[in-house]
Structures are given as structure tokens and as C-alpha cells.
Amino acid sequence: MGGLLAAGCGGGDGGGASPAAGKAASDDYPVTVTDCTGAKTTFSEAPQKIVTSNASSLELLLRLGAGDQVIGTGFPPGKGTLPGELDAPAQKVNVLSQTVIPKEKLLGSGADLYIDTFANMNMGGGMGDAPTEAEFKAAGIKHIYLKSTACAAQSKSPVTDLTAVEEDITSLGAVTGTSAKAKELVTSMKEKADAVRKAVGGTAEAERPTYFFFDYDAGTKQPMAVCNRQIANAVITQAGARNVFADCDGDFKPVGWEDVIAKNPDWIQLGVRNRGGEAANKKAFDEAQKWLETNSATKGLEAVKEGHFLRIGSEQTTIAGVENADTVEAIASALYPGKVG
């Protein structure tokens, strides 16, 4: 895989169904995956000491049943921010850094695999130098990516469905010997997305509601637009809406409130990051909504006047994962009452 979350840039070859225990047999290997440029990494057996760059790749491994193979992570999930059954095991994972794992700590971690959600440390914000591939090799660490996010900005065309995420899950399942569970997760995602597609398929493109993802936590002074290479664009599109910034090539881009006003969206998602509890999340959603309702630049927007707000968390919308399909359902249920849900 290459880049951030590994999806959409080609998947890994993966062995067949796993045994009853959920882990692959030895004849399911070798497994080969590629990065954003097509460079290959081959596994002759399942890795036993995995380090993840952040909470998104850690969450996928926990969902796959490969959490016992994880020895450390960067950007750890806050307490209560992962779904119930995943929270406790996530909190037990050794935290190597609250942000980007320092180069020397990563190389000396004892890992045999590093799963990277970042493309060339683009999301590192200058917080540290990434090891070179030669340094990874010298340390005995294989380096793969979650391509659905890592490769997204380099994609040649807009991302409009969840194929890339599903390929990441399939690829990680093959690498970690959990292909049976990966297939189960992907099948569930496809079923949800397909049901929404059938329900809203009769609505012409021009009649579909326009939609703005308001990244409240990115700051209110200058809004951050979700562009057409970001996984949120796929989520919004699959839900039968039109991302008002779908004409922006890339993943994210700072815009002006005048740009949002010119788009005048029908619906606005209050993009708030999980605070770790229902009360704290409600407070954050309330704050985001109140800001839009009282700010002179935004209170006249159609969506604001109509109260067309969606309270759906940022992570499940903008970070590739199993919950992207749930978000597709949630958005479609709000925009197409009676048709979905």
C-alpha cells in the first residue's frame, strides 16, 4: 500500500479464506501489497510486532482481530473515542508518541511492520523526519500504507465511492492473516452502500441536495473545504448528496466564508471530532451550530435558516474506515427521509 490509508491504489494479493480461528494458514502466504507508486512489499508470514502511525490504522487492525499483534502507535485514540468493544484494547496499546512517532523511536521499536496513514509525512506538520526506506529495511521493519488516504491527494480522479477503503481492509486482512474477517467487514460495508445507492438512484444529479462539511475543529476563521480526493467526498456522494467543493482537486483546501456563502448549501454537516463522551460531543455540536446561527457571514445560509444540520462525527466521515458506510447511511437517512433507513 502507499501513502495514507491504503485504498484505491491497487490492493494486495491475499490468500483465501482463513481457518476457523480467524487467522490465515501458512499456505495463504506469500502476500504482496503495493504502495502509491506501485513498489511492492512481500510477506512470507503474518507480522507479529506491528506499529501503527495513528488511531485509524490501529482501529482497522482491532476490527480485523489483529490487535494482539500491535506493539505501539502514534496519534493514539482518546479514551472513549473508539466504539465500545474497541476502546479497552486500544487503550492498552503502548503509545510511542502523541503525534508523529520520532524517527529513532520508530526504528528502535522492535517492530516488524509499520502501517503508515501518512503520505510522505504530509500530515506530520513538520513534527519529525520520516525514516527512509533504506533505514526501515536496515531496522528489519516493513513499511506499508493505508492507501485510501495516503494516495488520495495523488489520485488522478475524484473519489466517489468506498472502493479504496474496502481495498485497504482487504489488503490489511491478507497481510495480517485475517482475510475472513476482512471479507466480512467489506461485505457489510458494500451492503449498506448498495442499499443507499438503490434508494436514491432515481434522483437526478441536479436534484440532489448540496452539502457542506463544516470542519468546526479546524477553526472558524477560515473554513477548510473537503475536496474531491478526500474520502469524505466519497461518503457524501454515495449518500446521494453533492459536495459543494467537489470542484476542488485534492483532499483539503482552505477557502473563505464568501466561497461557502456563494455555494449556499442545502445541508451542513457539523464536523466535530469525538470528545470521548456523549455529553461532551453534544456540547461541541451545539457550539458548532450556534456559531453558524449567530455569525453574520453564515446565519443567512439556506441550510442554517432551515435548520438543516447533521450531527455526524468528523472521524467517521474524513478518515477511511468501516464506519464510512454507516455515515453514508446516516446522511442519506436525513436527506431522503422515507427512502433510506
Q: Which residue has the higher pLDDT, 155 or 216?
A: 216
pLDDT tens, position by position, 41-57: 999 999 999 999 999 99
Cell numbers of 199, please? 434508494
Return the sign of the alpha-carbon dihedral for residues 333, 335, 338, 340. negative
pTM of the model: 0.88
3-state class (DSSP) for residue 119? coil
Closest CA to 96 of 86, 110, 82: 110
Of the candidates 99, 89, 190, 96, the one whose C-alpha atom is nearest the C-alpha of residue 141 is 96
**In this predicted structure, which of 25-39, 220-234, 276-290 has the lowest mean pLDDT?**
25-39
Considering the chain, tell me which residue range(s) the CATH 3.40.50.1980 domain(s) occupy. 26-186, 204-335
The dotted CATH code for 204-335 is 3.40.50.1980
Is there a contact between 48 and 175 (Cβ–Cβ < 8 Å)? Answer: no
C-alpha cell at 99: 503525534
Predicted confidence at residue 26, as pLDDT, reads 63
pLDDT bucket at 127, cuts 50 / 70 / 90: very low
CA–CA gap between residue 219 and residue 231 (Å, rounded): 20
Please check whether residue 70 is in contact with residue 53, taking contact to mean a CB–CB distance below 8 angstroms. Answer: no
Mean pLDDT over all residues of the chain? 89
Closest by alpha carbon to 134, among 105, 107, 109, 102? Answer: 107
CATH superfamily of 26-186: Nitrogenase molybdenum iron protein domain (3.40.50.1980)
Instruction: Tell me what the mean pLDDT of segment 295-314 comes to.
Output: 97
